[in-house]
Amino acid sequence: MELHEIFAINLTPEHLDRIVVLTGAGMSAESGVPTFRGEGGLWKQHRPEELATPQAFAADPQLVWDWYKYRRNLIAATEPNPGHTALVELESILGDAYTLITQNVDGLHTRAGSNRPIELHGNIFINKCNNCSNTFPDDALNFDEMPPLCPKCQGPVRPGVVWFGEGLNPVDIEDAFMKSHQATLFLSVGTSAVVHPAASLPEMAKQNGAFLIEVNPDRTPLTSLADTAIHETSAKALPALVDKIRQVRSKSI
């Protein structure tokens, strides 16, 4: 489906009862944050599969922190794009009927104005103690020592993201599964839909009767399952999709 066809999507007011949006790295691509698996993806340039592990941090905390600082600087220099803004608008239209789940650690949804998205893979700007899990702002830590030490328990402080081989925050993943299970409309945006458990959320929503829309210029394992696949970028498709949802909503009031 192309952009001008979005207005023809067969959405009903009932679809708007409970909307869940799941976003991935493609959501931030038009802000200038490289995706993981695309051309110029961070993984290709920096071999993150070797750096984003507890073992790498234990072996060489300086190297791991240098890499995260590089990514923090790159992300800090970007701005939310019209796709992020459209989702803020969608939240203001739907209120409690709206849930945003993201795999992105860049914090761009929050910077755009989204209200507490579920950040399944953490947030790159959080500093977290590996021992006691307390979090600290940058200025509470001494980055001259490596790793920086926790002011509370002297444990090693690390970026607050999920690494390979680690579990997700149980509260977040439970919430994400519950909301997806109950969804009447599920939007999967800018994700390759190959990393679980996040990739299970749209599948589960669809199995439970949700209308499933995918926004991605390319095909993914989810495409054949989707009721509608919009082969466009998120910065272009989401504003049009939100206009469509606003139109359906206004008919139901």
Nearer to ligand OAD, 127 or 233 (CB): 233
Q: How far is the CB of 226 from ligand OAD (least distance, A)?
A: 13
Residues that bind ligand OAD (CB under 6 A): 24-26, 29-30, 35-38, 41, 103, 121, 162, 190-192, 195, 215-218, 220, 233-234
Q: Has 121 been annotated as catalytic?
A: yes
Q: What is the per-residue DSSP string for 177-223? A: HHHHHH-SEEEEES--S-STTTTHHHHHHHHTT-EEEEE-SS--TTT
Query: Alpha-carbon distance 207 to 56, whole Å?
Result: 38
Nearer to ligand OAD, 123 or 220 (CB): 220
Query: Alpha-carbon distance 238 to 253, whole Å?
Result: 22
Q: How far is the CB of 241 from ligand OAD (least distance, A)?
A: 12
Phi first, then psi: give them for residue 138, nearest 5 degrees.
-50, -45
Nearer to ligand OAD, 180 or 192 (CB): 192
Q: Which of 4, 15, 121, 196 is catalytic?
A: 121
User: Pick from 77, 43, 45, 252: which is nearest to 164 by CA?
Assistant: 43
Nearer to ligand OAD, 89 or 232 (CB): 232
User: Pick from 142, 58, 68, 130: which is nearest to 105 by CA?
Assistant: 68
Q: How far is the CB of 50 from ligand OAD (least distance, A)?
A: 13
Q: Which residues are catalytic?
A: 121
